[in-house]
Chains A and B, each alone.
Chain A
């Protein structure tokens, strides 16, 4: 107990008689007063006990100059030296790999293979260089340096009372000399001056971007905008899309390469088996009493229905379609939408169905939008309403 006392300020030392397990030797002289330490069986650390008396180290202990086991130290020195030489060779190998292993435009073969070869050469040389030097250093400190273990005294963190008192006095003196406590006009106007100044950083950051306005409410789809197949950018007719159960990503014509537009406007079209499509007629009752149609069978063409691809949870593309169950799954957070029933949410965190894009065919028979989406697409936002 006495040599394991951790309640420094709470327990007086005299309440703790020294205990000793029967059969063990009495405490040996402490390390700080005994430079000839390392008197355990193997001379290793941890064999020299310290009593509380040694906690007050008046002087720094002298470190031993020699390892008590010179033969072992000599052997380990050879091992460490070998490792250091390996490290040096590995560093040279690193340079050789840099010079010798061609990548990118310099290489004739497969660029990925060449890159991997270079990475393998450089990386293994580097790893070997560092690991060898690290292992060598550990051998050095553990097996070549003489084992030591020192005890250093901890000083109380708290300052003596007189120091604290003096500190408090200094603070008071300064406050008095500054007059800030005695002159409320000075103090209050200073505070008044800093408050508006603190707003400046907020004001100046206003320039980071435009105000959102109604930007998030609409997309670029308009009456008559053709649906282009994403990737090929070709318009599509219902006859082209003749595989029931398929899903195609479509983008509005004219915006195929506009990421800002596509962030909201990307849609999917799904062709159902005849009779599968059962879109409920769904309205949104606005705050002003106006009714907005949100889903309708009249917005489909030839068993083809179009939905926003942008998940109503956090905006990932809801890209996975399971034909057998007619479910759309967003791979990000697994919101699941029932495609044949107006993309209603059947599992996951998405709060709303995927908005339906009203589609029809134009005079040439291509699929076109009847209008924009009838509600904001994508994630919830405060002004969505």
Chain B
């Protein structure tokens, strides 16, 4: 860094190169704007970056592994370095995995980084997805990017499954066998799908090489295209920002791409790589030599898939044995529902959510400033209910370990899960909404009364009072939110001169929409105060008093502040 205040001059060779490039690409203006593109900052914005960098690391380590892995199911008898398996019949795929681990220097490290990166990739996607969901960052105009994200999540799960299936070890082979069982269960075409995928009777001699080409070419190609589209849209539509001082729907506040964001994100790439290297060094993952090669006759106890398959495993474990035998055909509900319908519903629900919410709230406007989860209580509650469902499925996928560690009878864990899958989400929904309202009330109280400082002052008349400090402008900006949701222009209870509701809200569907809208709109107005105290208006509980939340909504432009009166609730 120069010590004087004069700007640097661009070195001549660099200037010439830049000139040559611009001569050919007309890039000066566009690239300059891009270099100054502003990226907002929040720790949760790093989750997507973790996923991106894990993906890049997966490609890098994956290329290394392809140089040594032999995707072949030809049978060999092992006589390699790992003497415990000497003389054992195995596939070339398994043998080459052993060789990568024991005979290629750095091979085990690359294998373990690759496997850890896959787990971190999907974990980061999952967390990123939850962040997007709970802050409402998928709202208009970003619905497309949400869908691209769901697609990448789905592809990532398939990609991970194919990847850990390829070593052809006992554990993964059992997973493939389960997948084959699921295929067989599909009505009408199931057996054909299975025979075509495996080139005949399972396990056959084909699936590793078929999985391989899908794993290293087809799905990575699709993912790469989707990642590009995801990033392009993010840049084109500009990143959302968290509420805060100076941050509006019309701007984006943060640091410029060059040099700030570039260095930050570059540093983050090294962080992710460094942490993955740490994990691969100190946390062993998938020691395939311990379980031995796949054979259909044996199984290792305590079989667990990678974490992202856990919810499917739990779903299969939880479901009762329902099967129909009709007219010489078997319909295996015990396979179809848990393995196909349940994940289908989960991903469909994720996919349609932005549109469902927009329908429910009537909100068709643009949103570039994220919401704090408490300020969208119904969405947050639905999200928590979803997490509860997924979490119970996931825990049930490890119920044998839970039963073992906590000394609970095995079947009891499943019985509990069968009840919890229905009761849990209801409790989660209800409790989350209540917590959100409580947090809103606290925010409203801070906006109207300020923050308790903990300083007690004695007044001249002898009374003691606690000093309160008004919120700073920055604090107000972070807390204050617009009223619950931009609303349907009309609601069911508003009637025209003839006593009829608006045409759009007549009939069963309209009434349903109005009712759902009311549930979504319930909340407390958190407009910043005009003066030191709010006016303590209303209680904002639409469920009992259908008018009050509309009063709060109507107060969008007027500085009404809910009082946060702990007694004033009609819940």
Contacts and interface: CB of A to CB of B under 8 A. Distances in A.
Is chain B a partner of chain A in the same complex?
Answer: yes
Interface of A: 1, 3-11, 15-16, 19-24, 27, 45-46, 48-52, 54-55, 60, 63, 65-66, 73, 77, 98, 101, 103-105, 111-112, 115, 118-120, 122-124, 126-131, 133-138, 140-141, 144-145, 148-154, 156-157, 205-206, 208-212, 215-216, 230, 249, 251, 257, 259-260, 262-264, 266, 287, 309-310, 313-317, 319-320, 331-336, 345, 347-352, 378-385
Contacts of B323: 351-352, 380
B435 to A, nearest CB: 24
B218 to A, nearest CB: 14
Nearest to B73: A259
B470 A24 contact: yes
26 contacts: A4-B247, A4-B248, A6-B248, A8-B249, A21-B472, A24-B473, A27-B473, A52-B250, A55-B250, A98-B106, A111-B81, A118-B105, A135-B267, A136-B267, A137-B267, A149-B253, A150-B256, A154-B238, A154-B250, A209-B196, A211-B192, A264-B201, A315-B181, A316-B178, A319-B301, A382-B191
B295 interface: yes
Given A4-B480, A150-B254, A115 B102 contact: yes
Nearest to A60: B36
Contacts of B5: 65-66
Interface in B344-402: 365-369, 399-400
Interface in B296-332: 296-299, 301-303, 313, 316-317, 319-323, 325, 327-332
Contacts of B108: 115, 118-119
B102 to A, nearest CB: 5
Nearest to A309: B297
Contact of B187 (A133, A141, A382): A382
A282 to B, nearest CB: 15
B280 interface: yes
B472 A24 contact: yes
Interface string B267-286: 11111011101101110000
A127 B191 contact: no
B199 A379 contact: no
Which 5 A-B pairs have CB atoms at the shortest separation, nearest pair first?
A123-B281, A314-B181, A130-B274, A134-B270, A137-B267
B37 A152 contact: yes
Interface of B: 1-2, 5, 7, 32-33, 36-38, 81-83, 89, 99, 101-106, 108-109, 112, 141, 174, 177-178, 180-182, 184-192, 194-204, 206, 237-238, 243-256, 259-260, 263-264, 266-271, 273-275, 277-278, 280-282, 289, 295-299, 301-303, 313, 316-317, 319-323, 325, 327-332, 334-335, 338, 365-369, 399-400, 410-411, 414, 470-474, 476-477, 480, 482, 486, 527-532, 556-557, 559
- Which of A66, A105, A137, A259 has the most B CB atoms < 10 Å from its CB? A259
Given A137-B266, A348-B321, A52 B177 contact: no
Contacts of B472: 21, 24
Nearest to B179: A314
Contacts of B480: 1, 4
Contact of A123 (B199, B201, B277, B296): B277
A104 B316 contact: no
A151 B253 contact: yes
A260 B529 contact: no
Contacts of A98: 105-106
A22 B531 contact: yes
Contacts of B38: 150-152
Contacts of B263: 137, 140-141, 145
B78 to A, nearest CB: 13
A6 B480 CA distance: 11
Contacts of B188: 382
B332 A134 contact: no
A105 B317 contact: no
Contacts of A208: 196-197, 199
B264 A4 contact: no
A222 B215 CA distance: 40
A24 B301 CA distance: 65
A138 B267 contact: yes
A19 B531 CA distance: 9
B110 to A, nearest CB: 9
A124 B280 CA distance: 9
Contacts of B278: 123-124, 127, 131
A249 B206 CA distance: 27
B80 to A, nearest CB: 8
A249 B298 CA distance: 9
A335 B298 CA distance: 16
A353 B313 CA distance: 21
Given A11-B557, A145-B260, A157 B237 contact: yes
A208 B189 CA distance: 14
B330 A381 contact: yes
A160 B196 CA distance: 53
B299 A317 contact: yes
B297 A266 contact: yes
Contacts of A23: 470
B303 A331 contact: yes
B298 A351 contact: no
A278 B367 CA distance: 69
A148 B495 CA distance: 53
A329 B248 CA distance: 60
B528 A119 contact: no
A251 to B, nearest CB: 7
A86 B482 CA distance: 50
B112 A119 contact: yes
Given A65-B5, A230-B297, A46 B245 contact: yes
A385 B473 contact: no
- Which of A54, A152, A205 has the most B CB atoms < 10 Å from its CB? A152
Contact of B270 (A45, A55, A120, A130): A130
